[in-house]
Structure 1
Amino acid sequence: MEINNKIIGDLKGLISIVNDGKEGYESAAETTENLELKAVFLKYAAERKAYELELKAHLASHGGESDNSDGGILGSLHRAWIEVKEALSSKEDAAVLGAVETGEKAAIEKYDAVLKDPSTHADHIDLLTRQRDGIQGALTEITALKGSRS
């Protein structure tokens, strides 16, 4: 039972950071006037929504539930996405991209922490690894876009 509680807690934490990312990307898309960036941000917002649904399915299979569709308060992880929202007020693409980059790094840290215990998450390790790799891919693209605007 204790292991199942850890699984539920870890999945809820991932759902929260994924939702924070989704909200950050949606806000970034609304803020930028650059059509290329808007498309990138909307693509990753949709990807985070898909991640949320996948994680919720695994959470349910372990007897947990999450009504979290608005992100969560996860200390530094949440603050990273708060920085996105603050950068959006500047409406400068480089600042927005930098803040998104910070949020994605925080998400990767959260995934890495969960993936350090593969035996606990054996039934969904492939899912978590795929999602983490997807976030890493987004981070790579966002970093490149930021570099081209600095």
Structure 2
Amino acid sequence: MTNQETVSVLNDLLNITMDRIKGFNKVEEKVWDTHSYLKNDYEEMVAESEQMKADLINCITEHGGEYDDSPTVSGTVHRAWIDVKNAFTPNNAESTLENVVFGEKSAIAAYQEALQGDQLSPESILLVQDQHQKLQNSYAKFQSLEN
């Protein structure tokens, strides 16, 4: 593993984190009219995502890399699909929250893939493991929406 490989993987995770942040911005206040019990968890996830972003950027620069905080193409397409879907089913809080769950599952899978590879430096493995655990914890709070 080289610094360049580590930086590449960390940038991929940063892009996914940016997707997560942009996706959270799609959740509108109307959702909390029917799911107020999730609002605090959601706000915690938003703050956590911002911290994850900052930590990834720091790790990338510590490895001599330049960070790329642009969202992924698939994330952009997914958010566009959400916009179209919401245009035809306005005020559908369940659909909006299902998209949060979908995004969390996708992020968890990406982190698992990064951890299974051999491209992360020992220092970055600890960061990625910590962030992976945070994603799993937040997913668990919203997982009941899938059932």
**Under a length normalisation based on structure 2, what TM-score does the superposition of the two structures give?**
0.81
Query: Retained in 2: the 8 A contact 1:80–1:103?
Result: no
- RCO greater where, 1 or 2, for CA within 8 Å and sep 6 or more? 2
Gaps of 5+ in 2: none
Corresponding residue number in structure 2 for 1:46 = 47
- From the superposition, tell whether residues 80 and 4 of structure 1 become closer, same or farther in structure 2 (CA, over 3 Å): same
C-alpha contact 1:81 1:99 (8 A) present in aligned 2? no
Q: CA RMSD in A?
A: 2.5
Instruction: Mark the CA change 1:86 to 1:135 in structure 2 (over 3 Å): closer, same or farther.
Output: farther
Q: Secondary structure at the residue paired with 1:28?
A: coil
Query: Pairwise mapping of residues 68-147 of structure 1 onto structure 2 (< 5 A)?
Result: 68=69, 71-75=70-74, 79-80=77-78, 82-85=80-83, 89=87, 90-117=90-117, 120-144=120-144, 146=145
Measure how far apart 1:118 and its partner are. 5.2
Do the aligned residues in 1 keep the contact of 2:5 with 2:119 (CA within 8 Å)?
A: no
Whether the 8 Å contact between 1:81 and 1:100 is mirrored in structure 2 is no
In structure 1, runs of 5+ residues without a counterpart are: none
Instruction: Write the distance in 1 (CA, Å) between the matches of 2:24 and 2:111.
Output: 18
Percent identity among equivalent residues?
21
Q: Which moved more, 1:38-47 or 1:100-109?
A: 38-47
Aligned pair count reads: 143
C-alpha deviation, 1:38, in angstroms: 3.5
TM-score, scaled relative to structure 1: 0.80
Alignment check: 8 A CA contact 2:9 2:120 kept = no
Correspondence for 1:55: 56
